[in-house]
Structure 1
Amino acid sequence: MSAPVVRAFGSRAVLAVAAVLALAPVLFLVSLSLRGVDDISNGGWLPTRVRWDNWPAAFDTVPLARMLANSWLIALGATLLTVLVAVPTAYLTARGGRRGQRLYSVLLAAYCAPPVIAVLPLYFLLKSVDLTNSVLGLALVDGLANVPVAVWLLDGFVRRVPRELEEAGWVDGLSVVAGVRRVVLPLVLPGLVAASLVCFFLAYNEFLFAVSFAQSPSAQPLTVGLSLFQGDRTVQFGQQAAASLVAIVPVYLLAVAAQRLLIGGLSQGAVK
């Protein structure tokens, strides 16, 4: 075989192996969701007898539908807040000279700290404004926590926008805010979409703040709901697997549908 054919075959083989490795945990969850407790304890990849009772039992054990809706509301609200704060902040870090670089460093340094150190002060801050045990409070915390990630992703896009374009807009009478909205934002839109998707996934998967600030099922997201299947002595693996599939399938579909926007946006911002 010729060299191009061998390279093409090798690339497809590597992609096939990567796809199998990525899908194996999900397929194993499907297998677990169709097995009884004894069947799971015996090990193995496939069920000896298919059982569907884990699915309705999972919805009876915890309010999955309500928690799934909470997860989406929290993730969407957090992403909106992150974008509103991160866009002007990324503009300042990219155009602010030394002060912008200092702000950029402070944001990244703050994100490197373990989130658990912020749980106690955030709890009392939310309590002071009566936002503990609420979807709004979790969206607020997750949205602000993801600002450094969004700024890190958007900073490179803003730097790639020629400053001369903004200066031309200023000559035409645009203010700085109008210049950002009408000149910079359309050019960094791929990066903004990619950053929004990344922050959405981070907020959707967040667990520490959710389990710390939400004690009622009316405000708990599905990440907290998944932990409720673990009792003192037994773990309902089959029900937990079914609930996990309920949680990840919508996000998987979103990731597949938006993969071109996500990969394209991140790759365009890779080179500053």
Structure 2
Amino acid sequence: MSSAKRYVEALGSFKTSTVLQDLSLTGRVIVITGGASGIGLALSQAVVEVGGSVAAIGAATQPDVEFLNVFGPKVGSEVKYYTADIADEHALKAGFECIKKDFGRIDGIIACAGVCIEKPFLDSTWDDVRSLHWVNGLGTFFSIQHAVRAMLDNPSTANDACRGSVVIVGSIATVRKCEAQALAAYSASKGSSKGLLAGLAVELAPLGVRVNMISPGHTVTNMSIRQFGTRPDLEREMLEAVPMGRLGHRRDMKGAAVYLLSDAALYTTGAEIVISGGLHAGRM
């Protein structure tokens, strides 16, 4: 087919499917590290809501009660939980082997698992920094590597030869400092994911795998609620810094994750969606 004819056909491609059809993840298997708690749990629910199946990876032997309450009878069928420390090379490999055996394929991954140590720069130890980079850096890197290897077993489709999608969950902490928190080591470890984003987007595009990032701002989680109980200064500073005047909710991340995983984003790779209520843009 000549290039001119291809372009003529492309002009009408917007009529071949609806936005709702493009956003569907029906028949797709999405691995979500950290998918049984925090923001990751909300993203797991989002995938299921649009028809996808979820393989949630967590370090705990059993998922917590919130995970079981959210998914109920779907646990064990559309949603499965796998115990694996992403910082443990052998456990991570075994976890992905189980996922591939159970589901037969992997179509996407949300790399959401991470750890945070809040400590002043001058007090941070080798063990502190090593553990952060071990999980947030190496764990993220190799989780994605295992998932992409499985994606490459998928046949390319008519959907512009897309074999899979990677969504990395970053953090506003890589570009904005909260004065009430000492997060230099954490920010550095999450910054490695931002470098990974550009490198993988370019390297994997010819293989049919898209790579994008969601970077949440200050978001309400069980951990932050506990912190606010003992540190009202932290809550106050976070609220004052956000132009929209509120903290993020886990639901605020759901739409972006579904978009990036879906056919609605077939021409999107190397992108970062910052969901911060305007925190990243500044303040009047």
Question: Smaller-chain TM-score range?
Answer: under 0.3
Superposition TM-score, scaled by structure 2 size:
0.24
Q: Which has the higher helix share?
A: 1
State the structure with bigger RCO (CA 8 A, min sep 6), 1 or 2: 1
More strand by share: 2
Larger Rg computed on CA atoms: 1
